[in-house]
């Protein structure tokens, strides 16, 4: 049910973890959308809000696929009740996943729920070194299978071919919209996506090497019910709504006073890169404490 007295949102976002949701919210605000972020699906006592976009942070990256689907569909139901015209499913720019999901299963479920023809899948975020070329995912110029993500403790990425990765996660045929079509512009890319749908494809990995490509992709999917990808793809989504005259004057995040005093760094990852960073901090004389969350609970 829509929260009484609130304006309808334009863009509804489902993120597979909290940090990704925050990154996405920042991207949308920078693009001129008044954005609110929720930790989990809002209940009946959700605060009143006036926003152009709502981002729901879930924790479904590594849970069982059935659970991820259930949570994503519940989030979708809430977002649609708030009037969302388009849904964005956000996952990590390193396509963190396993052969069972959850990127593919959730995308498939959202497609069905929205009765959408086809959806793109593009984790590219060139500003952080994540690019997609010929369907292969690169991190700082190297295949992701040659990066530290290869040995991620929960979602090791040892296959850089994203079309193949999706094929193992979902029964829906996945295709590719290559660099040449993206470089040719939004109309050419949309024609490629339409062609893929006509030939039986429901998901499309899309190449992107720079920010201009991200904006081209956003234009090409402006009227699609569902978009999936990393927060980089969302860079151009606000422009679509602005072009339609649906956004107010560019919204800016409220200024926060600078932090003062001592700082604490909390590390909750057991990845190779994080462990190296903690080791480096300890060697430099930082006080390091190991906390057992179960003991603290």
pLDDT above 50 for 4: no
The Cα–Cα gap between 227 and 224 comes to 7
Give the Cβ contact number of residue 165 at 10 Å. 24
pLDDT digits (tens, 9 = 90+) for 227-269: 999 999 999 999 999 999 999 765 555 566 788 888 898 888 7
Q: Positive or negative, the Cα torsion across 213, 215, 216, 218?
A: positive
Instruction: Let me know if residue 103 belongs to a domain.
Output: yes
pLDDT tier at 2 (50, 70, 90 boundaries)?
very low
**Residue 41's domain spans which residues?**
11-243
Instruction: Let me know if residue 161 belongs to a domain.
Output: yes
Q: What percent of the chain has pLDDT over 70?
A: 94
pTM (2 d.p.): 0.88
Domain count for the chain? 1
Mean predicted lDDT score pLDDT of the chain: 92
Instruction: Let me know if residue 126 belongs to a domain.
Output: yes
pLDDT digits (tens, 9 = 90+) for 258-271: 888 888 988 887 77
Instruction: Let me know if residue 239 belongs to a domain.
Output: yes
pLDDT tier at 297 (50, 70, 90 boundaries)?
confident
Check residue 154 and report its DSSP letter.
S
Residues in the chain: 297
CATH number of the domain encompassing residue 84: 3.40.50.10840
């Amino acid at each position: 049910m829509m929260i009484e007295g609130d304006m309808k949102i334009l863009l509804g976002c489902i993120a597979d973890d909290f940090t990704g949701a925050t990154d996405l919210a920042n991207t949308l605000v920078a693009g001129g959308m008044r954005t609110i972020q929720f930790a989990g699906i809002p209940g009946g006592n959700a605060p009143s809000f006036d926003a152009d976009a709502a981002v729901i942070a879930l924790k479904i990256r590594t849970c069982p696929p059935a659970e991820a689907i259930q949570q994503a569909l519940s989030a979708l139901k809430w977002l649609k009740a708030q009037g969302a015209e388009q849904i964005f499913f956000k996952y990590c720019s390193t396509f963190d996943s396993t052969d069972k999901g959850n990127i593919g299963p959730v995308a498939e479920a959202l497609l069905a729920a929205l009765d959408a023809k086809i959806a793109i899948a593009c984790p590219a975020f060139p500003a952080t070194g994540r690019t997609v070329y010929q369907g292969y995912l690169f991190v700082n110029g190297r295949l992701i299978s040659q990066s530290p993500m290869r040995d991620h403790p929960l979602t090791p990425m040892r296959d850089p071919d994203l079309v193949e990765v999706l094929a193992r996660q979902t029964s829906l045929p996945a295709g590719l919209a290559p660099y040449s079509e993206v470089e040719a512009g939004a109309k050419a890319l949309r024609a490629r996506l339409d062609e893929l749908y006509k030939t039986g494809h429901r998901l499309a990995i899309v190449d992107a090497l720079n920010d201009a490509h991200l904006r081209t992709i956003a234009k090409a999917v402006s009227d699609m019910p569902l978009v999936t990808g990393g927060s980089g793809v969302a860079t151009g989504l606000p422009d679509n709504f602005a072009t339609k005259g649906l956004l107010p004057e560019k919204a800016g995040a409220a200024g926060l006073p600078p932090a003062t005093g001592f700082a604490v760094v909390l590390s909750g990852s057991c990845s190779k890169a994080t462990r190296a960073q903690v080791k480096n901090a300890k060697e430099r004389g930082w006080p390091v404490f190991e906390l057992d969350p179960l003991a603290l609970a």
